[in-house]
Amino acid sequence: MPPTPRMRIDPPLPPDENMRRDAELLDGEGPPRGRLYRWRPYGLSLGHFQKEAPADWLRTLAPDEVRVVRRVTGGGAILHAEEITYAVAGPDGAFPFDGPVHRSYEHVHTMLIELFRSWGVEAGLETCRPHALKRHEQPFLCFDRATSMDVMAGGKKLVGSAKRRRGGRALQHGSILLRAHPAQPHSVGLLDLAPRPLAEAEIMEALHNAFEGLLASS
């Protein structure tokens, strides 16, 4: 009997529905499962503890370009435009949520780096020490922050992830950039770096297979 799939691919959805489905994963039951998805229209997700988006930053976007939504996870704001988002949730303490807080980032990000390198994208883990800034001193955007275990390429952030633990379960989700957006200048996308053309369908299928393999270890 074939194993039960752990990862699904959802169609592009509005920001509030995407966040509802991620919260549903966090508050669900059973072994680790996840999903891959896009945002239509584009979204700006605020970290759980962030205040509203600065008006001067919002003015850098075209009118009605994005809808603002708040994540259940912490961290900085992310502009979800030309990217693919992953979300994985499961029992706290079970793989990939075993060990210290940073362990799940290491599991997921190492897997992503191996995949990116297979496409000729030289990505790696950020090795700097965690920032010591107070919450109100931190940059507004997730991709303006570089902390240990971030996925970097060419000195810029390629993947931005965040995590939440609640009720004996854990959720980790993250933005895998396809192309950088001018409003996130410290970021870079896979398609900006890949030495050959990559179709979105190819990327999505490869991500799905990689996450299935990762979650099969749990």
Sign of CA dihedral 149, 26, 216, 36: negative
The arithmetic mean of pLDDT across residues 112-140, rounded, is 81
Question: Which element (helix H / strand E) includes 35?
Answer: strand 33-37
Q: Rounded mean pLDDT of the chain?
A: 91
- Residue 52: pLDDT above 90? no
Which of the residues are catalytic? 142
β-pairing, 78-80 vs 33-37, is unpaired
Q: Report d(CA 116, CA 130) in Å as an integer.
A: 24
Cβ contact 156:188 at 8 Å:
yes
Q: What is the CA radius of gyration of the chain?
A: 16
**Domain segments of the chain as ranges:** 7-215
- In this prediction, residue 140 has a pLDDT band, given cuts at 50, 70 and 90, of confident
- Residue 29: pLDDT above 60? yes
- The predicted pLDDT at position 132 comes to 55
- Residue 146: pLDDT above 90? no
Render pLDDT for 155-202 as a digit per residue (tens, 0 to 9): 999 999 999 999 999 999 999 999 999 988 889 999 999 999 999 999
| More confident call, 22 vs 126 | 22
CATH number of 7-215: 3.30.930.10
Helix (H, G, I), strand (E, B) or coil at 45: strand
- The predicted pLDDT at position 59 comes to 83
Paired strand residues for 45? 69, 78
Phi, psi of 196 (to 5 degrees): -140, 160
